[in-house]
Structure 1
Amino acid sequence: MNRADIHFPPKHEPLREDVHALGALMGEILLEQGGEELFELVELDRTAAIRARAGESEARRELAARMRDRPPALARELLRAFSTWFMAVNLAERVHRIRRRRQYLRGSEEPQPGGVEAAIAELKARGLAAAEALELVRTLSIEPVFAPHSTEASRRTLLRQQQRVAHRLLERLDPSLTPNEVRTIWSSIRMELTIAWQTEELPRERLTVADEREQILFYLVEILYRMVPAFYEEIALALEKVYGAKAGTVHVPAILRFGSWAGGDMDGNPDVHAKSIREALARQQQVILGSYVDECQSLAQRLSQSASRVAAAAELTARIEQYMRLLPGARAITPARHDRMPYRVFLAQVGERLRSAYEGRANGYENPGQFRDDVALMASSLRANKGVNAGLFYVERLLRRIDTFGFHLATLDVRQRAHVMHEVVADGFDDPAWLSRSSRERRDRLAEALEKDRGPVTELDALGKRTLAVFDAIMQGRHRYGPEAVGYFIVSDARGADDVLAALLLARWAEAYDKRTGEVALDIAPQFESAQALSECGRTLQELLADPLYRRHLDARGRRQCVLIGYSDSNKETGACASRVIIHQAQHDLAQVLTEAGEHALLFHARGGSIARGGGRVESLVRAAPAGAVDGTLRIREQGATVKQGYGLRPIAMRTLERAFNALALTTAARRRGELPPDSAAHLELAAVLAHSSRAAYRRLVYEQPQFYEYFQAVTPIDVIERMQIGSRPVHRLEGAGLETLLPVPWVFAWSQTRYMLPGWYGAGTGLRAATTKFGLPRLREAYGSWYFLKSLIDDVETMLARADPVRPDHAALGCAAQPVHRPDEPDAGRPARALARPGTRRPRALRGAARERRGHRPGPAEHGLSRVGRGGPRTGSPGMRSSGSRAAEAASRGRGGSAARGLPARVSELDSRDPWRAFRREASWVDWV
């Protein structure tokens, strides 16, 4: 696709203007900070890339020659120039999203699609009365769970700088600004971008678990803590507007909460253990109590009511007198001039109790309920004494935050691999053959040990003691910080009922149970990850629920069973299409088993961040789920760049949660009213063919070609990623360095750097071709139009192809010694002339019809560069997928992928008929042909 073919509607013109202005500003900063030589170097590279992308072969050779043998220090400066520009452009795009939202709210009669008001209006259109709609909202639960990510390590310093730049860009939208004020805003933006240029982008040392925890706390405290009350206000206002309720009469219960894996995810990370769990829980409480103290001080500044002017509730006055006796420290910090200001006096006392809880002193709050009672008493006093418009709004906002964050801030999940727990059990049973025994045999032995309360027969080794300490930390954490402080104990890579029973037995060995009732206060969630485990998860869960002992445990825990569905591993094993079909069927099987067993089902989606790792839009995940898999609850893992993109600014975070609410509310309503039919047999048959053929093509390339991993090492910067200091977890799950042990995150990240985006689309063409051959194009079109699952799958493949690099790689530039072999007799016969020659040049028009405005290249960045006039600029990189300082620069100086120095054996050219790129080209062609 040529830039000349890209057209943007007028509504995106402000974004083009912002990108143009930021490009010009970045050019000035580059001149000032890097000098004329660096500026000209960047411009020459940029213009050569533009010509190369337009199809000029001479420009491609020129660009390759320019990059060859470049000193690492210079390459690093060039990388920094483009990454800083991409950061600024991405901010402009997010500001544009905020601008578009404000335009909807200000000037449109219709609510913004995908928002809260649109959902409430749709509920009314479907015939729900106001009481029914409110009751539906009361039953919803939305819980994003933030997880550390090994490819996203933006420093909090730079995140705050980006926030300030975004705020300045938003200030510029004020039409009342004077020219001098506009110049001041641009000067401020220039200052922040210059400071960012002078700041190291990534840490020099590998991130620790504590670093990752603080990264997530940034989003929880600086974004979501501030935004949560507005989310509830949006729902209440929508209900009032759509149903005509009296303002202020609608109360929306707490439906939003948050989770975290930082400090609790032991899977593949030896630095996570009992100590990190205790530290995470303590740190989260410190942060949230500190936020409450700050808010109480702010409220005290606002609520200046004098007793001589307005009365306060008698209960509040009595509570103040009680705290005067209980908290002598509060009297000391309350100025004498405030003694006739009841709310200020009371808030000082509340703040003192919070500080006592923070420091572990006497008379502090023991739980968030006590704190909430005090704040609610203040709210009641304001309502009863003409304070509805005199500060009640801010007190109610604090109540919303208490209901959402409690004293724990976010629920900490703990995760451990099933294999590790079986190693401990084997040691405790003194059974060297334990790991080789069948799942059924292990299950029976574990059930017997649980029933007879048998402990280990030998003293556990270091791994065993370390593992039991984790269960003790969980029990102590719940006791000290509240039952909501610790969430699920996740058994990753679960394959049988014995994996769950092993966790239950280890908890008993650790004596992590109620001594009076014998109940193990542990909610165990098996995580099914591999393609095989997902295919068999229904039967596995059925077997687990049939165990009488586990059913008794589940009854004691409220008969609520959570199951974690992994997306990334199956995607790496089978390709995007097959993985999605497998996961869809797994959701159906799990929901059916849990419903038949009479348990409260909770499917926890551990999706990847990007489409290439099984991620994508939340609303697509909810709407594409099989009937019965979504019933008012959405618990979803958020990680990596998706956290930054979806929660980096408060208005963007608001929109992210609005879209989740919209999809969950409408899908739940449709299910409960019987409006969601089950998947038809014809659709499932089509999906099965698509999955089978796409999986075969994907595995034929990735796993059945002996030289493929060597090819992968040659054409991607995986060697650089292995050395990057941006995550606490290793690149490989186990010791070794092969494709089988490579974690999905670096697998996808490496392909993203090449712009192939292979994990997100490879195999789709073969699958679609097979489905079309067997069922015909009309039936495929019908399924695309009537089955949202297939529509979202094909749309995501299309998105990946649009993002893939449309320029055929030059094998010499990639570091491949082998030269491609072109044969005219490749099986292209019968394909339309418009078939793709490479990824990203066309969309599957036969299925898509008219191209959607939101598809294809995003507006703005491709139009403007770093030059002073801001014209022309390739999207040669992926925002959020930045290289790592001097290591990436070193790789860039050697050539793309960093492998030119070591070369590549000629036999790699045998991949896919002696041309590795031919397979990629064919897959994209078949997608377009269908």
Structure 2
Amino acid sequence: MPVRASRNLDGTGTMEPVIQDGGTEGGATQKDSPLRYDISLLGRILGETIRAQEGDETFDTVERVRQTSISFHRDSSETARGELQAILSGLPTARAITVIRAFGYFSHLANIAEDQHHIRRTRAHAMTGAAPRQGSLAHALGRAYSAGVSARRLQAFLDGANCSPVLTAHPTEIRRKSSIDREMQIARLLDDRDRIHFTPAELTANRKELRRAVLVLWQTSILRGTRLRVLDEVANGLSHYDHTFLRELPRLYSDLEDELGLVEGWEDVTVPSFLRVGSWIGGDRDGNPYVTAEVLREALRMQSARALDFYLDELHRLGGELSLDDRRVAVSDGLRALAERSPDHSPHRATEPYRQAIAGMYARLAETARVLDGVEAARHAVGAAPAYAGAGELRADLDTVYESLTAHGSASLARGRLRRLRRAVDVFGFHLASIDQRQNSDVHEAVVAELLEVAGAEAGYLQAPEERRIALLRAELTGARPMSAPHLTYSERTAGELATLAEAADGRRRYGPQAVRHYIISKTDGVSDILEAAVLLKEVGLLHPREARLDVDIVPLFETIGDLQRCSEVMDRLFALPEYRRLLTSRGETQEVMLGYSDSNKDGGYLTSIWELYKAQTVLIEVFRRHGVAMRLFHGRGGSVGRGGGPSYQAILAQPPGAIQGSIRVTEQGEVIAAKYGNAEVGRRNLETLAAATLEATLLTAEGRPPPDAHLAVMESLSERAFAAYRGLVYETEGFERYFWESTVIGEIANLNIGSRPASRKKSTSIEELRAIPWVFSWAQCRLMLPGWFGFGSAVKGWLSDNPDGLETLRAMVRDWPFFGTALSNMDMVLAKSDIAIASRYAELVTDRALGATIFARLRAEWQDSIDAVLAITGQATLLEGNPLLARSIRNRFPYIDPLHHVQVELLHRHRAGDPDPVVVEGIHLSINGIAAGLRNSG
């Protein structure tokens, strides 16, 4: 392994390993040596920072805690655990805060090192010329080619494909943007150490920069002092466009075009912009009173300004590159006309028509930014020019430049920055990302009832049965007469809903139809819920009854177990209504349906949730096929397994055959956004994985055989048993609600400034009203991870009791059925991240000791049964035996998470005993941050 000499700041020499090819000697151990080195390097820098900033005594305490925790994890010594608990329980509050910060920051730094190691290994894999990895487009295309997919079929897939990660502001991202920015700086510095052959002086400079970045991180408050506003969430979401989406998506498209051009028979396949980014931030009103018409207007403006600023900068750079002299190259008539219309009359560029044309485009775009968004371009235009009427006009001008270069011997120039900019404009337009509108069906119901009553059309809508409601709404959809009038007075809620919908319609007119494309109805459980939304869209001109035209997709969201079980019946009845079917024609005979993973899990537990989601898709496929409607599924997944998380590639391929149909939208929520898209290369890989899995699921598995009926029957039985166990504990055990609130940090999470939306839908402690996000987040904090496994142990134990020879059947299901295999893999991961001993300390927080002991005993028994079931079915001796990379990650980080739990429990004891010191609350919040960082997918 090559080494380079360098010197520490104190002049002592060190030898830093530099991995150039990743190495293969020694297998995984050799491959992982750069990761271990990076973690050690960052840990040393953090330790030196703590010593310098907090003093030797504090550093010694942190180091003693670290060594004791490592000793326990290495030897499973109860003596070490007792010593660790004794050290942490006796710490003064101020010292405890420093310990929390030390171990929390280490978790963040370890995450950075792991992400960089994934990038390192991906590059090493590519440099060896090895076969493409699963999840890459090259691998997906290779499979398609080997399967004999024709160019015509591939083109049809691309023409109809629609893939979209949709960013949401759901509150599980605790870090401030200031901290995230410093972490990105550290990641870049680590990346430089891999890619650049440093001189000794340069390597020393790199380490100094790392020290400075860690110092700033240490001296920066990781917690927010005030609750986020919605527009703060918009700004946080936009940061991922600068370094990932705006740059990496065009590169992905370019690479895909180049890949297809190398395949015999596929050379003429064109690539439309089928992969786009969506957003809920600024448009999701469900349970968030702070999302208003004004907020939506500003969110649209902020998004547009970010896109136009990027285009302006790229045009400026493009003009600097295309200094072509028309005395040496010919140009097209179209390019010449662009140059002649340009306000650039400088004699220095009289023979440089490309620069003249681009200067004119820049001037038009600068005026567009001023008119649309009230933003002045960073660089002044050379003269006045009219604004673009839409992104299509800008794209047409870029096409003119591209065609002229291509036709006159400069095709390679056209396929650089210009090609990427053309694609960016096509993908992001002047709107950047479509902002979905979402509202709860209860709100729609109340608004429609008020409109009907004020208009004198119907006074008893809220009491009317479903059939009567459907009849009234169908009548409203066939007439052009609006129900609302500007001179009438409405409640604040109704006026706000109409104003927000009107703003959505105006946003489409200002920024283009892509600005708002979807209207999502939470808590859909009947046809009237969908028709109510349609009627409200009609009120603001987004539904045109005379033309039978609908301007946005109406998307029912089925969330609870009961809703999932009824969804096919609802859609069947909806499609039978001629008024609605006419509207679908204007949407290309395509209907989107959203499926909720979070609430269905909280309602029925993990196993029943994923099974009902699977069955819902199966029956929806049949309903849509029978009515001749194309189906697009929108998966409302979170970061944790309890909310639908887990590897995206496997999750998509595990869907029922025929469920994908070339289209899929998936929510990206909370801390998952930064984890997936905070790093440009990691973001690129995640975008590629979504597209690749969609291609494979559509072209290669869509016609696959369904699982045998025997497997379906077993799964149904397991689900029924798991459902009974889960409901029996969570909703039918007296005192469980109290146990949950006292044994977890749910109360403290509710007061943590991590999002603009309240933790509960109503002012209540009931689990029914609690949002799924804090529910899952709370169980992760106490290391039980209950939403990801509870009920499985009881289900398997009971089923095997009735079927003594059934273990081989369960093993066959894992082996032959991707759905069941993925479910077991996810539970394997969640159970490996759980820790029953740590969970027992949280159980001691319950003031009714008998209640706490009784319920925890049930939790412990089910936890052990679930582990036993996973191991028996998978044939593993230990959890994660088949996933050594994750097992390694857990081994590396858990000794640094355990101290956070111990201090958190101690501070919770103090806080709940009445300690008025606000630093105690700060410490609890800091520990929540550190634990979430260590577990990564916790919310």
TM-score by length of 2: 0.86
The residue correspondences of 1:107-506 to structure 2 (distance < 5 A) are 107-130=128-151, 132-174=153-195, 176-243=197-264, 251-324=270-343, 330-331=344-345, 335-360=346-371, 363-390=386-413, 392-430=415-453, 433-452=460-479, 455-456=482-483, 459-506=489-536
Judge conservation of contact 1:693–1:767 (CA < 8 Å) in 2.
Answer: yes
Change (3 A) 1:432 1:406: same
Aligned amino acid, residue 644 of structure 1:
A
2:68 counterpart letter in structure 1: A
The answer to which of 158-167 and 406-415 deviates more is 158-167
Indicate yes or no: 2:680 matched with 1:629: no
In the alignment, is the contact (CA less than 8 A) between 1:16 and 1:863 conserved in 2? no
Equivalent residue for 1:876?
A: 898
Query: Is 2:683 the counterpart of 1:653?
Result: yes
Kept in 2: contact 1:757–1:804 (CA 8 A) = yes
Q: Does the aligned pair in 1 maintain the 2:794–2:866 contact within 8 Å? A: no
- Structure 1 residue 19 and structure 2 residue 39: aligned? yes
Amino acid at match of 1:171: D
Deviations 1:793-823 (CA, angstroms, capped at 9, x unpaired): 1111111001112535444884234269999
> What is the 5 A alignment of 1:505-524?
505-514=535-544, 517=547, 519-524=549-554
Alpha-carbon distance change, 69 to 497 in structure 1, aligned in 2, over 3 angstroms: farther
Q: Distance in 2 between matches of 1:356 and 1:32?
A: 52
Paired AA for residue 601 in structure 1: M
- Asked if the contact 2:165–2:666 (Cα under 8 Å) also holds between the matched residues in 1, the reply is yes
C-alpha distance 307-417 of structure 1, shift in aligned 2 (>3 A): same
Q: Which has the higher contact order (CA 8 A, sep 6+)?
A: 1
Determine the C-alpha separation between the residues in 2 that align with 1:564 and 1:56: 48
Deviation at 1:734, TM superposition (A): 1.7
Match of 1:794 among 793, 801, 824: 824
- Partners of 2:307 and 2:241 in 1: CA distance: 9
Query: For residues 556 and 730 of structure 1, what CA distance do their matches in structure 2 show?
Result: 37
Deviation readout 1:756-814 (Å, 9 max, x if unpaired) = 11111111111222333344111111111111111111111111001112535444884
Secondary structure of residue in 2 paired with 1:688: helix
Quick check: 68-77 or 696-705, which moved more? 68-77
- Structure 1 78/393 Cα, relative in aligned 2: closer, same or farther at 3 Å? same
Q: In structure 2, give the amino acid aligned to 1:319.
A: L
For the Cα contact (< 8 Å) 1:19–1:861, is it kept in 2?
Answer: no
d(CA) in 2 for partners of 1:778, 1:152: 42
What TM-score does the superposition give when structure 1 sets the normalisation length?
Answer: 0.87
After superposition, give the CA deviation of every residue in 1:605-629 in whole Å (9 maximum; x if it has no partner). Answer: 1112211212222212211111221
Q: Determine whether 1:755 maps to 2:766.
A: no
- What one-letter code is carried by the residue in structure 2 that aligns with 1:647? Y
Deviates more, 1:597-606 or 1:42-51: 42-51
Task: For residue 250 of structure 1, report the CA deviation from its aligned partner.
Answer: 5.9
From the superposition, tell whether residues 770 and 663 of structure 1 become closer, same or farther in structure 2 (CA, over 3 Å).
farther
Kept after mapping to 1: 8 A contact 2:505/2:541: no
Distance 1:152 1:854 in 2: 26
2:740 to 684, 689, 712: 712
What amino acid is the match of 1:227?
A: E
Paired AA for residue 50 in structure 1: I
SS of the residue 1:677 aligns to: coil
Secondary structure of the structure 1 residue equivalent to 2:754: coil
**Contact between 2:548 and 2:583, CA under 8 Å: does it hold in 1?**
no
- 2:835 partner SS: coil
1:670 aligns with 2:691: no
The DSSP-based 3-state class of the residue aligned with 1:215 is: helix
CA distance 1:637–1:297, change in 2 (3 Å): same
Distance 1:98 1:413 in 2: 32
- Residues 458-479 of structure 1 show CA distances to partners (whole Å, capped at 9, x for unaligned) of 7432211111112211221111
Please point out which of 78, 81, 92 is paired with 2:113.
Answer: 92
Counterpart among 609, 624, 641 of residue 611 in structure 1:
641
- Contiguous gaps of at least 5 residues in structure 1: 1-6, 325-329, 865-871, 903-930
Which moved further from structure 2: 176-185 or 584-593? 176-185
Q: 1:62 aligns with which of 47, 60, 83?
A: 83
The letter for the 2-side match of 1:264 is G
Q: Do the aligned residues in 1 keep the contact of 2:169 with 2:280 (CA within 8 Å)?
A: yes
Letter in 2 for 1:322: R
1:691: how far off? Answer: 0.8
Q: Provide the secondary structure at the position in 2 that maps to 1:59.
A: helix
Identity across aligned pairs (percent)?
A: 31
Partner of 2:907: 894
Q: What amino acid is aligned across from residue 783 of structure 1 in structure 2?
A: M
CA RMSD of superposed structures (Å): 2.9
**Unmatched runs of 5 consecutive residues or more in structure 2:** 1-26, 373-384, 916-939
Moved more, 187-196 or 261-270: 187-196
> How far apart are the structure 1 equivalents of 2:79 and 2:459?
65
Aligned letter for 2:285? M
Q: 1:446 to 1:406 in 2, by over 3 A?
A: same
| CA distance 1:229–1:772, change in 2 (3 Å) | same
Amino acid at match of 2:907: R
Comparing 225-234 and 123-132, the one that deviates more: 123-132
| Deviation digits for residues 134-177 of structure 1 (CA, Å, limit 9, x no counterpart) | 55444432111111121214333322222221111111113632
Read off the aligned partner of 1:664 and give its amino acid letter: T
The one-letter amino acid of 1:113's match is Q
Residues in 2 aligned to 1:641 and 1:228: alpha-carbon distance in whole angstroms: 21
CA contact under 8 A between 2:498 and 2:540: conserved in structure 1?
Answer: yes
Letter in 1 for 2:274: I
Alpha carbons of structure 1 residues 697 and 570: separation in structure 2 relative to 1, 3 Å: same
CA separation of 1:515 and 1:366: change in aligned 2, threshold 3 A: farther
- Residue 131 of structure 1 deviates from its aligned partner by 5.2
Q: How far did residue 512 of structure 1 move? A: 4.4
Give the CA deviation at 1:301: 1.4
Q: Offset of 1:558 from its aligned partner?
A: 2.5
Cα deviation for residue 855 of structure 1 reads: 5.0
Cα deviation, 1:192-221, whole Å, max 9, x if unaligned, reads 111111111122110001011111111123
Shift of 1:517: 3.5
Change (3 A) 1:314 1:132: same
**CA, structure 1 residues 97+243, in 2 after alignment: closer, same or farther (shift >3 Å)?**
farther
> Do residues 42 (structure 1) and 62 (structure 2) align?
yes
Q: Which moved more, 1:518-527 or 1:345-354?
A: 518-527
Q: Distance in 2 between matches of 1:840 and 1:25?
A: 38
* CA 456–232 in structure 1, closer or farther in 2 if over 3 Å, else same: closer
C-alpha change, 1:227 and 1:683, in structure 2 (3 Å) is same
How big is the shift at 1:293?
0.3
Does structure 2 conserve the Cα–Cα contact (< 8 Å) formed by 1:236 and 1:252?
A: yes
1:859 aligns with 2:888: yes
**Other structure's SS at 2:888 match:** coil
**C-alpha separation in 1, matches of 2:417 and 2:834:** 48
Give the superposition deviation at 1:368. Answer: 0.9
> Which residue in the other structure is 1:926 paired with?
none
SS of match in other structure, 2:659: coil
Q: How many residues align?
A: 861
- Does the Cα contact within 8 Å between 1:861 and 1:875 map onto a contact in 2? no
**CA 1:820 to 1:495, structure 2 compared with 1: closer, same or farther past 3 Å?**
closer
Tell me the SS of whatever aligns to 1:415.
Answer: strand
CA distance in 2: counterparts of 1:856 and 1:313, whole angstroms: 55
Q: Which moved more, 1:855-864 or 1:694-703?
A: 855-864
Separation in structure 1 between the aligned mates of residue 266 and residue 275 of structure 2, nearest angstrom: 23
Q: Is the 8 A contact 2:224 2:753 kept in 1?
A: yes
Give the drift of 1:873.
3.8
Aligned residue number for residue 527 of structure 1: 557
Assess, with a 3 A threshold, how the Cα gap between structure 1 residues 601 and 877 changes in structure 2: closer, same or farther.
farther
Letter matched to residue 582 of structure 1: E
Confirm or deny: 8 A CA contact 1:592 1:628 kept in the other structure.
no
User: Conserved in 2, the CA contact under 8 Å of 1:16 and 1:860?
Assistant: no
